[in-house]
Each structure stands twice: as C-alpha cells, then as structure tokens.
Amino acid sequence: MISKEPYKIYVVEDDAMLADEICRLLMKWGYEVWVAQSFDNILEEFLAIKPQVVLMDINIPCCDGFYWCKRIRDVSAVPIIYISSRDSSMDVIMAMNNGGDDYLTKPFDNAVLVAKLQAVIRRAYEYSIQQPHVLHHQGLTLDVGKATVVYNQHKCELTKNELKILKLLMENQGKIVSREALMRSLWDDEIYVNDNTLTVNVNRLRLKLEELGLQSFITTKKGMGYGVL
C-alpha cells in the first residue's frame, strides 16, 4: 500500500459473529478495523473514526443501510461496500443509487471481500495519489485526487460516481459525451448499469453544482448524452 498508516475500515454489521470474523480477517491483512457499536449513531461513529472504507449491511436494527449510506454521503465521498443477504436486482440498484460503490452478497468468500476492498482502495486513494489531477472550467475547479469541487470559494465533496461523471465531462469540454460512455466509466461490472442509475447520479451532481451557485453547468443533448460547453 502507498499509505504508511493502515487503512481504517468501519464495519456496520449487527451479526456479532460475522462482524468479528470480518474484523479478524481484515486485521490479518493489515487493516485497522472498527465495528459499529451503536446502530442509532452510525453517522456520529463514522465522523469520529474517519475511516477510508465502510462495509455496510442493509438490515440493521436502526433504520437500514440505505439510510445510513445517504447520511454518510451528505458529508463524505468515502467508498462504501454493501454486504447483505438481500440479493435481488432492485436491492443492488438501490444500493448504487444511494451512493454505494460495490455490493457483496452473503454468504461470501473471504477472498472476494478482500479483493473488492483492495479494489475500492486503489480506485479511491492510490490511483489518485499516483495521478494528481486538477481541472478548471467556467470558474469551477475539480480536484480529482481529493474528489472536491470549488466555485466562488464554496466547496463540496463528490461521490465516486459523481467524480467520474464530472471528470469525464470536463476532460471533453465542448463535446457531448454519450450516456453509454458515461455508464462504462462508472462501474467495472456493467451488470448493474442502467439509464435510471446514470440519470440519478447526473441529477445529484447537478444539484450539488447548483448549490455552489453554478447553474446549467452540465447540458443535456437529447438522445445523445451530456456535456460542459
């Protein structure tokens, strides 16, 4: 790993035996692991721990994993991997639409969990460290490494998907980027990609830009895609 300090993993899992198993597994791989203690204070624990990755169950005692993922997304772009016994396509789509980065169905192979964890860490932290990148357009500054945008001295964080969308559009200033190209850029496994998911992410990104004071930054070309012109 590039970081000298171990990555911190926050595990939100109410099955004590499984949480302990995950904890012991990830500690063997050199991670610092924190297990949720109070399921009605997930956001407070998250803010106190400041983890680099969250492993989030869906069926937990207070609210559910979708709710807490959205709460975390209000304040952070940290990668979130859902771990759940719910395996329907709608559950996976809801997980991604609510800000998740990956989805693992119980029961799972420990090697698959570690591989997915390593993959999101590489994408979120190590690649950005190796390839720092800042883009500018119409007064907006996108810091790819930090997953932040700044406009008129106002700043906000982006989720991984929002970052990928905005980065691709700004790298192709003056051009229309097709919906297909955007969807290919969002996920490694296209089985979960659909038009609705892309639309949700684009609308969420637009809202964040509007809250910064930047109106109509992303344009829509009906039947073709999106662009920043």
Domain limits of the chain?
Answer: 8-129, 132-227
Beta strands in the chain (DSSP E): 8-12, 32-35, 53-56, 80-84, 102-105, 134-137, 140-143, 148-151, 154-157, 177-178, 219-221, 225-227
Q: What is the mean pLDDT of residues 25-47?
A: 93
pLDDT value at residue 190: 42
Structure tokens at 141: 């500054």
Alpha-carbon distance of 170 to 141, in angstroms, equals 10
Query: Over the chain, what is the mean pLDDT?
Result: 87
pLDDT value at residue 188: 55
Span 142-198, pLDDT tens digits: 998 889 999 988 999 998 889 999 999 998 998 999 988 888 777 654 445 577 888
Phi, psi of 124 (to 5 degrees): -85, -30
How far separated are the first and last CA of the chain, in Å rounded? 39
Q: What is the mean pLDDT of residues 21-36?
A: 94
Q: Return the CATH class of domain 8-129.
A: alpha beta
Torsion of CA 72, 76, 77, 80, to 10 degrees: -30
Alpha-carbon distance of 71 to 62, in angstroms, equals 13
**CATH 1.10.3720.10 given to domain 132-227:** no
Are 62 and 68 a contacting pair, CB within 8 Å? no
Residue 113 has pLDDT above 90, yes or no: yes
Residue 131 has pLDDT above 80, yes or no: no
CA 196, 181, 165, 117 dihedral sign is: positive
Span 82-92, pLDDT tens digits: 999 988 888 88
Beta strands in 86-131 (DSSP E): 102-105
pLDDT value at residue 3: 39
